[in-house]
Amino acid sequence: MKTKLIIITALLLGTMSLQAQRQMVNVPELPGYVTLKCDFHIHTVFSDGNVWPTNRVSEAWRDGLDAIAITDHIEYQPHKQYIPTDHSAAWKIASAMAADNNIILVMGTEITRGMPPGHLNALFITDPDLLATDDFMKVVEAAMAQGAFIHWNHPGWKSQQPDGIPRMYDVHREMIAKGWLHGIEYFNGGEYYPLVMDMCRENKLALIGNSDTHGVISEEYTAPRYSHRPMTLVFAKERTAESLKEALFAGRTAVWYGDNLAAFEEIALPLFRSVITAGAPYKDDGTRIWFELCNSSDIPMKLSGGPEGAPAMLTVPARSMVIVRADRKYLSQPLTYNVDNIITGSDSVLKVEISPAKK
Amino acid sequence: MKTKLIIITALLLGTMSLQAQRQMVNVPELPGYVTLKCDFHIHTVFSDGNVWPTNRVSEAWRDGLDAIAITDHIEYQPHKQYIPTDHSAAWKIASAMAADNNIILVMGTEITRGMPPGHLNALFITDPDLLATDDFMKVVEAAMAQGAFIHWNHPGWKSQQPDGIPRMYDVHREMIAKGWLHGIEYFNGGEYYPLVMDMCRENKLALIGNSDTHGVISEEYTAPRYSHRPMTLVFAKERTAESLKEALFAGRTAVWYGDNLAAFEEIALPLFRSVITAGAPYKDDGTRIWFELCNSSDIPMKLSGGPEGAPAMLTVPARSMVIVRADRKYLSQPLTYNVDNIITGSDSVLKVEISPAKK
Amino acid sequence: MKTKLIIITALLLGTMSLQAQRQMVNVPELPGYVTLKCDFHIHTVFSDGNVWPTNRVSEAWRDGLDAIAITDHIEYQPHKQYIPTDHSAAWKIASAMAADNNIILVMGTEITRGMPPGHLNALFITDPDLLATDDFMKVVEAAMAQGAFIHWNHPGWKSQQPDGIPRMYDVHREMIAKGWLHGIEYFNGGEYYPLVMDMCRENKLALIGNSDTHGVISEEYTAPRYSHRPMTLVFAKERTAESLKEALFAGRTAVWYGDNLAAFEEIALPLFRSVITAGAPYKDDGTRIWFELCNSSDIPMKLSGGPEGAPAMLTVPARSMVIVRADRKYLSQPLTYNVDNIITGSDSVLKVEISPAKK
Amino acid sequence: MKTKLIIITALLLGTMSLQAQRQMVNVPELPGYVTLKCDFHIHTVFSDGNVWPTNRVSEAWRDGLDAIAITDHIEYQPHKQYIPTDHSAAWKIASAMAADNNIILVMGTEITRGMPPGHLNALFITDPDLLATDDFMKVVEAAMAQGAFIHWNHPGWKSQQPDGIPRMYDVHREMIAKGWLHGIEYFNGGEYYPLVMDMCRENKLALIGNSDTHGVISEEYTAPRYSHRPMTLVFAKERTAESLKEALFAGRTAVWYGDNLAAFEEIALPLFRSVITAGAPYKDDGTRIWFELCNSSDIPMKLSGGPEGAPAMLTVPARSMVIVRADRKYLSQPLTYNVDNIITGSDSVLKVEISPAKK
């Protein structure tokens, strides 16, 4: 006699589908703003990517992102033999899922040219078809007419800039002069471009960092090698598309890639202060004091260049605390450190002062 | 002065692309055959899947598979608005990559009907367009004319069989009578169908287990929950498409899903013997003996029902060994166990005898 | 010619010792108090444990604990042949390290008798030698004279209570009557004792949960099986030994074991509210609303028994958020759920009301 | 009414104690021998270690080791205030457990002097008390009288050799001349000493690598940073203490530390051949061939210096395979590589030839 339990279909123990899970990412804050976690450079099967547009929303949701832009190439569809060109397809397919999942889906596209001008993303556009035209400046003009935020992608990409040194060409200067360029990728995929810090600083452009993913995010950014995809942190007044756009044009961004943050000092310093807290001395032997440094974020903080009578180097891992044992004089004067993984310029890192809390 | 190191583009430390890595999977062996690790039920964007066909080859390569079939639905293309129907597209796109990566890519398709007959995969076909016709038996006939191996998919799937009890309909009996049905999925995705063991046994059909993946394999089968995707183990004379086909028609298969193996006893017993080795007693206190059981495979072995004077239960984890302490009488008579995770019928598991090795 | 690099001693790449890391544990809060993470039942080589006392401090530091008690057995030293009995040894060895690492080291010991009375821990004692005497009530009296907090250990331990049912004996009632018993272990090692919830409730005793570790914490509580050791959460006015003691006598505790919390309802409800936040509806289709539930703690929240028109079950994993899609009527009335993993009595779990935030 | 299920003690789901698990370690083989995985330098609470001797056996068992020596310092017992000196204690405590777990427990001790002679381990001794005497050469003589295998520990340890350059002193030369020194640690804890390769080669001494653990192995060697503790691989005729000793005196050893192997070429080459297998070409486009390299061991193989028309670098990860695409001429001539992680001398690595298998 066979029991009913045996006869009917059974689920493999433990395979009952988990309710989908969205991780909370603990990133630094800029007081007065909400930090939006964003990836503005993403491809799908509608250009040279390998996944369907809805997957880009699922990935963003799981990764705890607030906003993404799918930016398939306007001029390049290697799958055209099988998938007819449709510049709005990814947007149309992904937008309902984004709405259901509270993800801000920014309409975007990648203008794809040789260098100069190279590749540029136009974000917050409303009709990508109007950008499918030969004359580059006409394309940019059409994007601007739609209110686009335009950023230059991977300016030091060796396929287009063999010496790896990003440099402004006349066309970029012309765009800047006209107010038609608003940001540059400091980080793309696996590369960073140190000089972009200076370019953005000098021209008041936003620092941008994106994955430029063509494959599967969870395969490209796998623990223990990676804890997260690269992203742009945008400090917005609210968690809305409008606020996101305002913040981008205002240049309130930072780039998080690997264990590093890139941001200008006026942003980087409050970010650091939002995540590192010094405790009060819990031991004092008359010569030295002991106190804790806590890091409440998902980004380790790597301090070096410590002063005499204090640790020369201190790494405070993510969501962890470390003990500082320092000379008693630091009860009345701050310890000074470089934060080696907070990049503030092409040749500078953030400098900070740390003092133990008062009892 | 800025150093050249700072000016040029730099790779994030540790992001230089890893040479792709194919894991070696340690599965049981049937003496005289090679074990081919196969997934015969896979979708892409060309039906209702979410990834590009080349990703299916990459996934198979990383997972250590020997053979896959991409089996997009003949009758169902929900992406048709964006991707015109092309039953051969996935094959054309994936086959060069399969050849470069030593993956046997079996041409296949899923015939997609209400129950009965339900869904069936036709493998080893040569022209899927000839299967795009209304009359079901004509479709099967066309597949048979191409030399197809045909297996019935998820026969207890509740969307088609609400009580979850797989049952043969006239059409299946007719197919079997004509020699037009060659296997049934005992496992699909996350479900197993116990009665399929009996159906296959009685009708001399091959046991099949597939992922039926629509998404991303590494997202669907993630450690620690899963160590591998479900697969059909095929015991072939050689690692070739021809040998694979011969073995399937001969029914030399087992199904590996979660921590379980399903196989008929004549196959299951040598599989067990190929991975579990008992060492010689290394301690003997006059009353009891101590010896080791080693499991050289990636599948744990879960023994229960042990005899008096021996452990009642014994789990030998994958790639591990455990110590058995048993009565001295087992120097001259075998210990008997059930292997709870080797399924040999709708209500039976493998029974084995284990003896310590002679010194 | 050999280079200097080759001649001298080299460190294995990646082995330079990491600065020790203390993880931050995100546990629920009771408004107005700090949550101290504590383990009050720990052994060392000075009774039947396997590690040196300083390791207990290192383990606590890494685990993010605030306070521990080392509680070697007064009456049982199986290593006596090699280590002479010294009831204060562990304290003397560990206390300097505790002070350096900001760990509150509570002096304690385990009074170790057959049942009744079984095993009891005396915490906050000052001289364990005075407890080394035969008459049990004299021992307790000596502990009380030192200001001890006394809790009964593992009252349903099958070695002492073969049916596994914890029950009060006269000696326990006498202790309670005299004010000499202050808490009971609801959880010990791998066991929980449901009836202890009622015993503590009826007798106004503190709920306690401890590891009772004898081995190595990181070997006993290893991911993915465990994310943390069992612990008592104590809601203290300050992070000091005095406040800890006050809170224990006041019974402001919860027990965190596996994915579960045990606490009386008046504590459990604010704990839940401190970690689960409902967002405002971000989608409203006229029939249903969509909103997020966020869990900022390291403890998953497992909701069941959801009302009509809302998910029946909802698991909000640690540090994650999930989407709730519910009938529009829940804009004006709360959703009601059981929290299956917050235990409030021997046969009850916490009941909560959840409403989406106002826009 | 309370159900019995609720009243009685319950185990936390998933905490029922796992049968202890011993991992199988896949290490290279020397044809004709069994590879014994050994750690000959281990401390316990009986000198300056932090764990009880039985833990050392448990650790070895879990780690898949075949043999260990506990080598507490003869001259140094910092716990003496609490634990009276007993040079045989660790052995007496651990030996029954070793016998039960099929671990070869070698009796040993660490002779602990300033440099010269530094620290030396005497293995296979029978009475450590006879080594507790002042005159160093008398100690060695006493060890030799017991049949000891003597190896010099961490000769470049900066506490004893501030420039980190290991060098022979007269006392070592005298020991070698008398046949009283049989091996030197090339690797200890986290350090390797390149010149030891030459010292051992020139003086026919065995290469040794040990953990020198004082703490908890699983805390010191944690994934993803480490996959295993450092160890000496000994190529013995049988898995017995006698064969182990014979092999050590014969110098048939290799050292496995991190991702590296150190061994003299006559041993290193067959080790490499025992784990790397080249497949037959599975693709040939008339210009190039494609074939697989498989690594069946737990040690990655890192090849560099590849010839023209073949990959310059090739890493074959542990238990994985990679694809080699090479010029067709390599059908008839071998590819030559350096194996960067198999060290054969103070300034040399193993050189190998690889050819695809014949069809």
pLDDT digits (tens, 9 = 90+) for A294-332: 999 999 999 999 999 999 999 999 999 999 999 999 999
Show the tokens assigned to D225: 């940073």
Q: Are C150 and C123 in contact (CB under 8 A)?
A: yes
Q: Does D238 or B3 have the greater pLDDT score?
A: D238
**pLDDT bracket for residue B1 (50, 70, 90):** very low
H or E stretch including D92? helix D89-100
| Residues of chain C with C-beta less than 8 angstroms from the C-beta of A290 | 100, 102
Nearest CB to A321 within list C22, C283, C292: C22
CATH fourth-level superfamily of B24-258? Metal-dependent hydrolases (3.20.20.140)
Average predicted confidence (pLDDT) for chain B:
94
The predicted pLDDT at position B2 comes to 42
Select from D12, D199, D259 the residue whose CB has the most chain C CBs within 10 Å, as the one to mutate to test that interface. D12
Has residue B61 got a pLDDT over 60?
Answer: yes
| Residues of chain B with C-beta less than 8 angstroms from the C-beta of D319 | 23-24
Show the tokens assigned to D36: 């014994």
Share of chain B above pLDDT 70, in %: 96
Nearest CB to D320 within list B24, B292, B321: B24
Distance CA D309, CA D316 (A): 19
Nearest CB to C9 within list D89, D193, D260: D193
ipTM of this predicted structure? 0.93
Select from A5, A52, A83 the residue whose CB has the most chain B CBs within 10 Å, as the one to mutate to test that interface. A52
End-to-end alpha-carbon separation of chain A, Å? 75
Positive/negative CA dihedral, B33, B35, B36, B41? positive
Query: Residue A12 corresponds to which amino acid?
Result: L
Q: Please, what is the angle between helix B170-178 and helix B136-145, to 10°?
A: 20
Has residue D325 got a pLDDT over 50?
Answer: yes
**Lowest-confidence pick of A45-54, A222-231, B71-80, D37-46:** A222-231
Show the tokens assigned to B162: 């609400």
Has residue C293 got a pLDDT over 50?
Answer: yes
Please enumerate residues of A whose Cβ is less than 8 A from a Cβ of C. 18-24, 99-102, 279, 282-283, 290, 292, 294-296, 314-315, 317, 319-323
H or E stretch including B274? helix B265-275
Q: Are A350 and A272 in contact (CB under 8 A)?
A: yes
Q: Domain C21-258, what fold? A: TIM Barrel (3.20.20)
**Lowest-confidence pick of A18-22, A46-50, B253-257, D271-275:** A18-22
Q: Are A234 and A255 in contact (CB under 8 A)?
A: no
Average predicted confidence (pLDDT) for chain C:
94
**pLDDT bracket for residue D13 (50, 70, 90):** low
Show the tokens assigned to D11: 């185990």
Query: Given an 8 Å threshold on Cβ–Cβ distance, is C322 in contact with A296?
Result: no
Query: Residue D122 corresponds to which amino acid?
Result: A
Has residue B157 got a pLDDT over 60?
Answer: yes
Nearest CB to A6 within list B14, B215, B346: B346
**pLDDT bracket for residue B13 (50, 70, 90):** low
The predicted pLDDT at position B129 comes to 97
The predicted pLDDT at position A273 comes to 98
Nearest CB to A195 within list B7, B13, B219: B7
Strands C191-192 and C206-210: unpaired
**pLDDT bracket for residue D2 (50, 70, 90):** very low
- Nearest-neighbour CA in chain D from B39: distance (Å): 20
- What's the rounded mean pLDDT across residues B47-67? 97
Q: Are A247 and A33 in contact (CB under 8 A)?
A: yes
Distance CA A249, CA A271 (A): 20
Has residue C114 got a pLDDT over 70?
Answer: yes
**pLDDT bracket for residue A6 (50, 70, 90):** low
CATH fourth-level superfamily of D22-258? Metal-dependent hydrolases (3.20.20.140)
Contacts of A202 (CB under 8 A, 6+ apart): none
Has residue B18 got a pLDDT over 50?
Answer: no
C with D: how many residue pairs have Cβ under 8 Å apart?
140
| Residues of chain D with C-beta less than 8 angstroms from the C-beta of C44 | none
Phi/psi-derived region of residue A159, left when phi > 0, alpha when psi is between -120 and 50, beta in every other case: alpha
CA D18 to chain centre: 28
Closest of C357, C352, C305 to residue C330, by C-alpha: C357
Q: Are B78 and B48 in contact (CB under 8 A)?
A: yes
Q: Which residue of C has its CA nearest to A319?
A: C24
The 10s digit of each residue's pLDDT in D134-193 is 999 999 999 999 999 999 999 999 999 999 999 999 999 999 999 999 999 999 999 999
- Nearest-neighbour CA in chain B from D23: distance (Å): 4
The predicted pLDDT at position D6 comes to 60
**pLDDT bracket for residue A20 (50, 70, 90):** low
Return the domain boundaries, chain B: 24-258, 275-354
Contacts of C110 (CB under 8 A, 6+ apart): C41, C43, C47, C71, C72, C73, C74, C119, C120, C121, C153
Burial class (CB in 10 A: 0-12, 13-18, 19+), A74: buried
H or E stretch including D220? helix D217-220
Query: Given an 8 Å threshold on Cβ–Cβ distance, is C3 in contact with D347?
Result: yes
Query: Given an 8 Å threshold on Cβ–Cβ distance, is C320 in contact with A21?
Result: yes
Q: How many residues does chain B have?
A: 359
| DSSP state letters, D127-148 | -GGGG--S-HHHHHHHHHHTT-
CA C122 to chain centre: 17
CA D125 to chain centre: 20
Nearest CB to B21 within list D283, D290, D317: D317
Distance CA B75, CA A329 (A): 79
Query: Given an 8 Å threshold on Cβ–Cβ distance, is A3 in contact with B347?
Result: yes
Distance CA C292, CA A61 (A): 12
The 10s digit of each residue's pLDDT in D281-314 is 999 999 999 999 999 999 999 999 999 999 999 9
Average predicted confidence (pLDDT) for chain D:
94
Instruction: Count the Cβ atoms, other than its own, within 10 Å of residue D78.
Output: 10
Select from C62, C63, C282, C298 the residue whose CB has the most chain A CBs within 10 Å, as the one to mutate to test that interface. C282
Winning range, highest mean pLDDT, from A7-21, B272-286, D222-236: B272-286
Contacts of B82 (CB under 8 A, 6+ apart): A46, A83, A84, A86, A89, A93
The 10s digit of each residue's pLDDT in C5-38 is 466 777 765 443 344 679 999 999 999 999 999 9
The predicted pLDDT at position C79 comes to 97
Q: Are C149 and C71 in contact (CB under 8 A)?
A: no
Q: Are B295 and B301 in contact (CB under 8 A)?
A: yes
Contacts of B112 (CB under 8 A, 6+ apart): B73, B74, B75, B76, B119
Positive/negative CA dihedral, C78, C83, C88, C94? negative
Phi and psi at A21, nearest 5°, equal -125, 130
| Residues of chain C with C-beta less than 8 angstroms from the C-beta of A24 | 294-296, 319-321
Has residue B74 got a pLDDT over 80?
Answer: yes
CB hemisphere CA count around A129 (13 angstroms): 4
Has residue A164 got a pLDDT over 50?
Answer: yes
3 state DSSP class of B41: coil
Show the tokens assigned to C97: 């390290």
What Rg value do the Cα atoms of chain D yield, rounded?
23
Distance CA A37, CA A233 (A): 5
| Residues of chain C with C-beta less than 8 angstroms from the C-beta of A238 | none
**pLDDT bracket for residue A10 (50, 70, 90):** confident
Has residue B11 got a pLDDT over 80?
Answer: no
Select from B52, B214, B343 the residue whose CB has the most chain A CBs within 10 Å, as the one to mutate to test that interface. B52
Q: What is the DSSP letter of D213?
A: B
Has residue D15 got a pLDDT over 70?
Answer: no
H or E stretch including A231? strand A231-236
Q: Tell me the whole-structure pTM to 2 decimals.
A: 0.95
Has residue D223 got a pLDDT over 70?
Answer: yes
Q: How many residues does chain A have?
A: 359
- What's the rounded mean pLDDT across residues D9-33? 75
Asked if the peptide bond before residue D281 counts as cis, ω within 30 degrees of 0, the response is no
The 10s digit of each residue's pLDDT in A55-101 is 999 999 999 999 999 999 999 999 999 999 999 999 999 999 999 99
Task: Name the one residue in this structure whose structure tokens are 């929240």.
Answer: C301
The 10s digit of each residue's pLDDT in B181-221 is 999 999 999 999 999 999 999 999 999 999 999 999 999 99
Q: Which residue of C has its CA nearest to A17?
A: C315
**pLDDT bracket for residue B6 (50, 70, 90):** low
- What's the rounded mean pLDDT across residues B277-296? 97
Distance CA A36, CA A247 (A): 10
Burial class (CB in 10 A: 0-12, 13-18, 19+), A47: buried
CATH of B275-354, one of 1.10.10, 1.10.3470, 3.90.1570, 2.60.40: 2.60.40
Distance CA A251, CA A254 (A): 9
Share of chain C above pLDDT 70, in %: 96
Show the tokens assigned to A96: 């309902």
CA B353 to chain centre: 26
Q: Are B110 and B121 in contact (CB under 8 A)?
A: yes
Has residue A17 got a pLDDT over 50?
Answer: no
Distance CA B69, CA B57 (A): 10
Task: Outline where DSSP puts E strands in C258-347.
Answer: 260-262, 276-278, 283-284, 288-295, 301-304, 314-316, 320-327, 335-345
**pLDDT bracket for residue D322 (50, 70, 90):** very high
